[in-house]
Structure 1
Amino acid sequence: MTAPEQILEFWLDQVGPKGWYLQDETLDQQIREQFLGAWEDACEGRYSMWLTYPSGALAYLILTDQFPRNMFREDPRAFAADAIACAVAKSAIKQEYDLKIDEPARQFFYLPLMHSENLEDQERCVRLLLERMPKFGPANLLHARAHREVIRAFGRFPYRNAALGRHSTAAEMDYVASGGYGSTVRVLQAAE
């Protein structure tokens, strides 16, 4: 059994903010080797006791929302636990567990909302970053707004379609061909 402290020590201390959003196959492989079994266990309903306190909920969210994106790039399993992570994030935020975790780690309570293909979740993510992350929120705000714009335009993330076996519309194919998410970020940056 994996302990929440193992996840937090690895992700927050060893990898740290500079490595959280890099695409690095070595890191991805390390996460698979150390935490694939724990992710499978979480998907089967184990680790529910972690959800009873702030640092446990944080570890659970990293395990179910962030780690699969590293372990399973271009694979539907990258998104397999999204509904679980989103529900846990909402519950933890309601209990204000997020406010008991220091920035920048606090952002992992909000990322399941940013990863959601639901506009209401997107709006909430932007609002939470503005309200509850005064120091590090602005760094993430651009990406939260970009995710929200994609959901406003398409109701889903077109760049997930191939991995999820979804049919892309002509508008989605044009969007991806013209730079996709990166183009949305650039447009928002230019507007600031």
Structure 2
Amino acid sequence: MQRHEVLDFWFGSPRPETPEEIRRHATNVWRAGASIDDAVRERFGAAFEQAVDGALDHWCETLQGKLALLILLDQFSRHIHRDTEAQYRGDAKALQLARELHDGDEHEQLTFMERAWAMMPFAHHESIDSARRAIEIADALKAAAPPHLEAFADIGCQQSRRALAIFERFGRYPHRNAILGRQSTAEEEAFLRDYRHGPTAAVLEKAGIER
């Protein structure tokens, strides 16, 4: 497995540039959900195991390699092991990579779309500090977004604020309880009955992305 294979799959090859190309790629890959699970599992399943075991740590010698490893651990894991506890196996290592990218200035060398995905380990981490940092990064991205990508930047801002509100209320993300074998409280059960992706869906519609 080569690092460019991860990046080409996730970001497209050639990279989409126009709003129409970006929307099409987002619909077919980023928001495709379970429909691409089998393809990701077949192509990248073995590489994910290598990444978790540290066999691909040498990818971090380059910025693009570090990004590829982060995507493999943070995004592909959720396709390969959807709705199982194993989907979180790469999160700790992905968070470490995200911190390395953002504690210095490495993230500033990435493209807008690469930066948008490089922040996701903060959003996935069950921590109030990580949730707040995700908001900071999302806001900075929105401020730097070119006009044709403002709607995409809105997605990150709304999702990160919503995640923080949920975490502040419950101290964890209740929608993970079943997967992790955690007992939900009565308040969490009531929340989960009404849990919808309404705000995100509205922004995706604005951006022209199907889900």
Q: In which range does the TM-score fall when normalised by the shorter chain?
A: 0.7 to 0.9
Partner residue in 2 for 1:169: 185
Partner residue in 2 for 1:182: 197
Offset, 1:181: 4.8
Partner residue in 1 for 2:65: 56
CA contact (8 A) 2:116 2:141 kept: no
Distance 1:77 1:16 in 2: 27
Give 1:145-164 correspondences, 5 Å limit.
145-164=161-180
Partner residue in 2 for 1:4: 3
Mind listing any 5+ residue stretches in structure 1 that lack a counterpart? none
Question: Over residues 50-69 of structure 1, what are the superposed CA-to-partner deviations in whole Å (9 max), with x where a residue is unaligned?
Answer: 22322111101110001111
Partner residue in 2 for 1:30: 39
Higher relative contact order (Cα pairs below 8 Å, separated by 6+ residues): 2
CA contact (8 A) 2:85 2:180 kept: yes
Q: Aligned Cα RMSD in Å?
A: 2.0
Partner residue in 1 for 2:113: 104
Give 1:91-130 correspondences, 5 Å limit.
91-130=100-139
CA contact (8 A) 2:112 2:141 kept: no
CA contact (8 A) 1:4 1:50 kept: yes
Distance 1:130 1:69 in 2: 25
The aligned length equals 184
SS of residue paired to 1:74: coil
Offset, 1:82: 1.0
Greater mean deviation of Cα atoms: 30-39 or 128-137: 128-137
Instruction: Give the direction of change, closer, same or farther, for the CA distance of 1:66–1:125 in structure 2 (3 Å limit).
Output: same
Amino acid at match of 1:148: L
Greater mean deviation of Cα atoms: 109-118 or 85-94: 85-94
Distance 1:132 1:142 in 2: 13
Distance 1:181 1:96 in 2: 36
Please identify runs of 4+ aligned residues in structure 1 that moved more than 6 A. Answer: none
What fraction of aligned residue pairs are identical, expressed as a percent?
26
CA contact (8 A) 1:53 1:97 kept: no
TM-score (norm 2): 0.80
Distance 2:180 2:106 in 1: 32
